[in-house]
Structure 1
Amino acid sequence: MRDAPTIEPLGDCALRVGLGSEPDAATVARVQAAARTLREAPPAGLREVVPAYTTLTLHYRPEAVAGEPDDLQPPWQRLAAQVQALLRRPRRRAAAAAREVVVPVCYGGEHGPDLAAVAAHCGLSEDEVVRRHLASPHQVAMLGFAPGFPFITGLDSALRTARRATPRTRIPPGSVAIAREQTCIYPLETPGGWNLIGRTPLRLFDPAANPPSRLRPGDRLRFEPIDAARFAALWAQERT
């Protein structure tokens, strides 16, 4: 039996719900299930549910969970009790299947300048690094760091690689990178220290779109190799 969630206040209008200590597949799945539960039956005042690796952050309106004038219990404790009760309920239906999103990637060369270094570090050929990356069971655990930036679990352990000793100050949008046991995709041009192994032409963040982020926590990703010509064609198509 899993431990009960831990709940603590974050300021006066947010709660942090802890659902595990390690960002393994079971904990990530538990976080996603809890997020679905709270979105499907939100307590009064709940404004937003933000999943991370092992936690949920719940943003809420304190006035919506205020008690009687002589009740000195703070709003966060009332909301915490409601959240605990909701998460203890057995789910009446199976969880919705995760979306699968196909992400085309041009590996190596100018689009993946660190592929050779990753291959040398792992004692593999560049083709084997790509093969193992394609075969890994990738899943988006959370969005963070920059708008639409996905942290992706499931990387083959043979590809575990430390971050670069010297981060880059500018990384092109769409860059697919690995570090430690994770993959990420840079949606915007930002600094970063992950190892760049390829690049996708997909536009992962568009502030004019609804929703603006193409990916969402819980998505399963299937990377698909493409060549430079296909990359250029898809890049132009995504931005017309």
Structure 2
Amino acid sequence: MGKIKIKSFGDSAVIIKVGEQSNIETSQRIKIISEQIDQQRFDGLTEVVLGLTTITIYYNPFAMYQLYGESPFRFIHEKLTPIVNKAVYYRENNSRIMTIPVCYEEELGPDLEAVSIYHQISKAELIALHSGQDYVVHMIGFAPGFPYLGGLCKEIATPRKASPRTRIPAGSVGIGGEQTGIYPIESPGGWNIIGKTPLKLFRPDDEIPSLLRAGDIVRFQPITFKEFQSLKGAASF
């Protein structure tokens, strides 16, 4: 992976270019850097936004100048450089591994058959390919708690639907292009729905409302419809 770059992004933000492609290593470094920034927060910093290959840091330039008496960009650059250098040589995989049960019955995955036909494979092969690999949570976005998962094998990458649905139930697992994801709340959407999890990905009453976080490793575990119903009724879900 190339050198991590820190650049000015307008007059009130700095962007850290962590990698050229969204992959597990890039996501690991984004996670490490963002955690260190959070632990070493400084006055004048207003927001940290994680992207697929970047971290954007927003700040109040007037407050920064009054507080530190120098160029805000120079001050932030000096703060970020040791954090970035540490991430370059950090090799320990400290991601959480999250197993997500998914029922791939067609009652819960209305596009399962269409996706299998599109790729000219059986539904069993589609399920095996989708659940047979690890995914990394690149970021949370689109809707509260919605994880963009990278790592989908090219054999089942599927274009988004030409006509999005107006209502997709919470917990629906879908494929959109070269990514897969889980709808945490009921919402419109154009991804191909191939299954559903009984887990609640967005829990607004919890201190950390999103079940998944950027940098997590996700593994899908196929379950039966009976198991889905049982887990759906469990208090912990």
* TM exceeding 0.5: yes
SS of residue paired to 2:124: helix
The letter for the 1-side match of 2:8 is E
For 1:234, the equivalent position in structure 2 comes to 231
Instruction: Kindly indicate whether residue 179 of structure 2 is the aligned counterpart of residue 177 of structure 1.
Output: no
Q: Partners of 2:132 and 2:101 in 1: how far apart?
A: 14
Residues 136, 214 of structure 1: alpha-carbon distance in 2 compared, 3 angstrom cutoff: same
- Asked if structure 1 preserves the Cα contact closer than 8 Å seen for 2:4 and 2:16, the reply is no
For 1:137, the equivalent position in structure 2 comes to 134
Structure 1 vs Structure 2: percent identity of aligned residues?
A: 37
SS of residue paired to 1:111: coil
Q: Deviations over 1:86-122 (max 9, x none)?
A: 3124678653521111111110312100000110111
Pick which of 27-36 and 216-225 moved more: 27-36
Pick which of 179-188 and 39-48 moved more: 39-48
Q: Partners of 1:32 and 1:2 in 2: how far apart?
A: 17
Residues 83, 115 of structure 1: alpha-carbon distance in 2 compared, 3 angstrom cutoff: same
Q: Show structure 2 runs of 5+ residues with no match.
A: none
Pick which of 17-26 and 50-59 moved more: 17-26
Residues 70, 148 of structure 1: alpha-carbon distance in 2 compared, 3 angstrom cutoff: closer
- Asked if structure 2 preserves the Cα contact closer than 8 Å seen for 1:33 and 1:95, the reply is no
Q: Partners of 2:64 and 2:124 in 1: how far apart?
A: 56
1:82 Cα offset (Å) = 2.3
The letter for the 1-side match of 2:148 is F
For 1:27, the equivalent position in structure 2 comes to 26
The letter for the 2-side match of 1:3 is K
SS of residue paired to 2:138: strand
For 1:150, the equivalent position in structure 2 comes to 147
SS of residue paired to 2:185: coil
- Name the TM-score, length of structure 2 as normaliser: 0.87
Instruction: Kindly indicate whether residue 201 of structure 2 is the aligned counterpart of residue 204 of structure 1.
Output: yes
Q: Deviations over 1:118-137 (max 9, x none)?
A: 10111110000000111122
For 2:7, the equivalent position in structure 1 comes to 7
| 2:125 alignment partner, one of 122, 128, 142 | 128
1:69 Cα offset (Å) = 9.0
The letter for the 2-side match of 1:165 is A
Aligned pairs, how many? 237
SS of residue paired to 1:163: coil
Residues 68, 103 of structure 1: alpha-carbon distance in 2 compared, 3 angstrom cutoff: closer
Residues 129, 64 of structure 1: alpha-carbon distance in 2 compared, 3 angstrom cutoff: same
For 2:185, the equivalent position in structure 1 comes to 188
Structure 1 residues 100-139: aligned runs within 5 Å: 100-139=97-136
Q: Partners of 2:46 and 2:55 in 1: how far apart?
A: 13
Q: Partners of 1:69 and 1:135 in 2: how far apart?
A: 52
The letter for the 2-side match of 1:49 is V
Instruction: Kindly indicate whether residue 83 of structure 2 is the aligned counterpart of residue 86 of structure 1.
Output: yes
1:187 Cα offset (Å) = 0.2
- Name the TM-score, length of structure 1 as normaliser: 0.86
Q: Deviations over 1:2-43 (max 9, x none)?
A: 23414233663x433222232233333332232233234445
Q: Show structure 1 runs of 5+ residues with no match.
A: none
For 1:217, the equivalent position in structure 2 comes to 214
Residues 11, 114 of structure 1: alpha-carbon distance in 2 compared, 3 angstrom cutoff: farther
The letter for the 1-side match of 2:115 is V
Q: Partners of 2:137 and 2:235 in 1: how far apart?
A: 22
- Asked if structure 1 preserves the Cα contact closer than 8 Å seen for 2:139 and 2:148, the reply is yes
1:163 Cα offset (Å) = 0.6
Instruction: Kindly indicate whether residue 17 of structure 2 is the aligned counterpart of residue 18 of structure 1.
Output: yes
Q: Partners of 1:91 and 1:189 in 2: how far apart?
A: 39
The letter for the 2-side match of 1:79 is I
SS of residue paired to 1:213: coil
